[in-house]
Amino acid sequence: MDELGVDVIEAGSAITSDGERESIRAIASAGLNAEICSFARAHRKDIDAALDCDVDSLHLVVPVSDLHIERKLRSDRESVLRKAVEATEYAKAHGLIVELSGEDASRADLDYLESIYRATIEAGADRLCFCDTVGVLLPERTAEIFQRLRSLGKPVSIHCHDDFGMATANTVAALRNGAMQAHVTINGLGERAGNTSLEEVVMCLENLYGIRTGIKCNLLYQISRVVSKKTGIPVAPNKAIVGENAFTHEAGIHVHGLIADTSTYEPMRPEQVGRKRRIVLGKMSGRAAVELALREFGITVNEEQLNEIVSRVKELGDKGKRVSDADLQSIADTVLSRELKPRVLLEELTVVSGNRVTPTASVKLILDGRETLEAGAGVGPVDAAVNAVRRAISGVTDIRLEEYHVDAITGGTNALVEVWVTMAIGDRSITARGAGADIIMASVEAVLEGINRLMLLEDR
């Protein structure tokens, strides 16, 4: 995130646990350019915990709606205002930058909210924050509120949730009407429907409003992938900017337009956010898409052969199947009466996995006619099996696994699964798939299909 160019990193809530404090201390001592912040309630113990982590600033949050004050805190407006002032004074006296945040501000009385803001400014608050805690703001209402709040004389932030899918719109409306900072998260992670998505706000400002944000946009996809992997929370395929389908095209009319001019069906260049354009094949694909894909694999066909390949691609699509690169090559080989002679064949696979046992796998491959034995370990049985295969071919070619995805085709513990992989060598990549009730075998099948197809491309 620091390399990306964000200004403030809220590293956690120091009062949460020993592990959280250890993490915040590590981030605070990492020598980053960004200001490092801790979330805190208006309690001295929260502030002391943040001080113990050596952070630069405090995101000091106080409930400001009557609903939160009366139902959650069982308190009153005067008490909340007093605690907000006392907490601000205490944090400032200990050298912290303070951003005073009004929780549930979008359902609060604005006059009362403004009185808290003004009182904490007098107490030393450096910044203020307006929180749309349950995502009920509308862009036009957001604009009105921030036109009023910008008269306070201190920077005001916007913090939105996406319960109604309005987080990005409300955040941009706030920034266009006086907000100086936006609270955002990678991939829109957050409570319930999530918080405002960093990548959506950045690209909206950069591309639609021509506002330079200082963010290195070409790193957006990379950091999205890292966060998804570390959190174990997948990104929806149709997620704006970073979803796998954001720059993927299938429909024939779209691909035809892209060939003429990419701006016909792309509002931004994929390279701008660290992406690549993908043409996928299915029942919506036309001749132009299929011919373009074949050309990328160095396959030349005549009109009659192209028509036959397109027909078979659509036939697969009509069965509800996505057509992988390996599928297309296989179809082309059949139509052209070419027989693929795989350079790598699986003879045996043994996997050991269990409680308190590091998953390991051993494989016997026939590689260019020679028998090869290799073993590998991994975080799980699939990882171990794939690592064993990669080790077995490492002396011949340097092929890497870039993406791995599993879909359950049927239900139950004996579900039929479909495994999709993207394999790459140098700057060339290929998608392949395997299917079966055994996820390990399906994974190895997909990986070997990808390896053989890439090696075939190398030989051409």
Same domain, 350 and 388: yes
- Position 454, amino acid: L
pTM of the full structure: 0.77
Mean pLDDT of 217-242: 91
Same domain, 150 and 38: yes
- Tens-place pLDDT, residues 369-386: 899 999 999 989 999 999
Same domain, 295 and 423: no
Is 349 inside any structural domain? yes
Same domain, 35 and 158: yes
**Per-residue confidence (pLDDT) for residue 30, from 0 to 100:** 97
Is 421 inside any structural domain? yes
Same domain, 452 and 363: yes
Is 200 inside any structural domain? no
Question: Which of the listed residues 154, 183, 212 is the one where a domain comes to its end?
Answer: 183
**Per-residue confidence (pLDDT) for residue 410, from 0 to 100:** 63
Structural domain boundaries enclosing 448: 344-459
Same domain, 42 and 176: yes
Question: Which of the listed residues 335, 367, 398 is the one where a domain comes to its end?
Answer: 335
Same domain, 320 and 366: no
Is 220 inside any structural domain? no
- Tens-place pLDDT, residues 423-440: 888 777 888 888 888 889
d(CA 253, CA 273): 25
Same domain, 253 and 361: no
Same domain, 352 and 387: yes
d(CA 235, CA 73): 35
Task: Residue 150: give its domain's CATH number.
Answer: 3.20.20.70
Is 170 inside any structural domain? yes
417 close to 443: Cβ distance less than 8 angstroms: no
Is 210 inside any structural domain? no
Total domains in the chain come to: 3
Lowest mean pLDDT among 37-51, 169-183, 223-237: 223-237
Is 227 inside any structural domain? no
Same domain, 16 and 135: yes
Question: Which of the listed residues 335, 356, 383 is the one where a domain comes to its end?
Answer: 335
Task: Residue 378: give its domain's CATH number.
Answer: 3.30.160.270
d(CA 151, CA 166): 25
Is 232 inside any structural domain? no
- Tens-place pLDDT, residues 130-149: 999 999 999 999 999 999 99
Long-range contacts: 112-120, Cβ < 8 Å, 24+?
A: 112/64, 112/77, 113/64, 114/148, 114/149, 114/152, 115/81, 116/62, 116/64, 116/80, 116/81, 116/84, 117/149, 117/152, 117/154, 118/152, 119/81, 119/84, 119/85, 120/84, 120/85, 120/88
Lowest mean pLDDT among 41-50, 252-261, 298-307: 252-261
Same domain, 273 and 350: no
